[in-house]
Amino acid sequence: MAARAGVSRATVSRVVNGSATVTPEIRAAVLRAVDQLGYVPNSAARSLVTRRTGSIGLVVSEPPSRVFSDDPFFAVVARAVSQELEGADKQVVLLPASSPAGHARVERYVAGGHVDGVILLSMHGSDPLPAALARTDVPVVSHGRPITTVPLPYCDCDNVAGARSAVRHLLDRGRRRIAAIGGPPDMSAALDRMTGYREVLSGTDRRSLVAMGDFTRESGAAAMRQLLEDDPGLDAVFAANDLMAIGALHALRQAGRRVPDDVAVVGFDDIEAARYTDPPLTTVRQPVAEVARAVVRRLLGSEEERTAEPLILPTELIVRDSA
């Protein structure tokens, strides 16, 4: 390659890496040779000396059922991250970490210098990975507030405020018995949304009534049946995510309750499917892609940017027909 262009390897390297200090003629000659030979620098050799890999790890620590099923969350994040990374010419490598074995693999992988940074996705409270990763000198940013003892940079949406707006809306519509379907209690998003629900109700004379789900449709349907049994008189339900709200809609229909006439339903996320339920779902829109992009920017930014205050993006209540 260097021979073909009649220059040294060093000069080829400089041209390929866009160094300014190269004579135009030489640069042209090198570029021509690169083109003719289809030369592409070997990435491993380059990484070895630059100590950078051009890859960012996306750690998905979630039981397959949720992240990889019908919830568009993972896909939306993966896409936004890839896209935002394009400008920096970096790729995302998927790091599944749902099992202890997966955790060990991810740790080894990161420690082995395979990635320039790590994005944590939907971590659970019990997860030992954040702490382990924080000990590495690889930058880590979490998508969503992690429940950890170690402080960790993160971006998130305002789950508490979002839930508040949903419950207030129900109150404004004159609903009196507002139940809730909660998510996994070891995830901050689920926790925060329940906090918002309780906060609003505690300001009134209404009692709270909660059934737990795990963010899946099926669990939403089961929780709804439970709720109906516990309090047949309920006239509204706030589900901590849309998938569970869809399950609730299903259970309500089977129980012969009309929505929103008998029972009003509000979800959280505003996934695409929310527009196609019957009736269309009133829900809290969460800017998943924007949070993901913010995470990437922090990850790529300086140490100071990363350790700055967590970025919390606002949510928006989307009123459709279910409430």
Partner DNA sequence: CTGAAAGCGCTTACAG
Q: Is 126 in the site for DNA (CB under 7 A)?
A: no
CA neighbor of 17 nearest in space, from 37, 45, 59: 45
Listed in order, strand segments (DSSP E) in 144-201 are 154-157, 178-182
Q: Is 41 in the site for DNA (CB under 7 A)?
A: yes
d(CA 182, CA 119): 26
Residues near 9 by Cβ (< 8 Å), separated by ≥ 6? 1, 2
Asked if 238 and 163 touch (Cβ cutoff 8 Å), the reply is yes
Q: x-or-dash pattern for a copy of itself, window 13-32, by CB under 8 A? A: --------------------
Contacting DNA within 132-171 (CB under 7 A):
none
Query: 190 is in the binding site of which of a copy of itself, DNA, none (Cβ under 5 to 8 A by kind)?
Result: none
- Give 7 or 121: the residue with its C-beta nearer to DNA: 7
d(CA 101, CA 95): 12
Residues 39-72 as b or e (16 or more Cβ within 10 Å = b): beeeeeebbeeeeebebbbbbbbbeeebbeeebb
Q: Candidates 32, 36, 37, 50: give the one binding DNA (CB under 7 A).
A: 50
β-bridge mates for residue 248, sequence order: none
Q: Candidates 27, 105, 124, 285: give the one binding a copy of itself (CB under 8 A).
A: 105
Q: Is 17 in the site for DNA (CB under 7 A)?
A: yes
Q: Which stretch binds DNA (CB under 7 A): 36-44, 222-230, 251-259, 263-271?
A: 36-44
Q: Is 161 in the site for a copy of itself (CB under 8 A)?
A: no
Q: x-or-dash pattern for a copy of itself, window 66-85, by CB under 8 A? A: -xxxx-x-xxx-xx--xx--
List of residues contacting DNA (CB under 7 A): 1, 7-14, 16-17, 20-23, 25-26, 39, 41-42, 45-46, 48-50
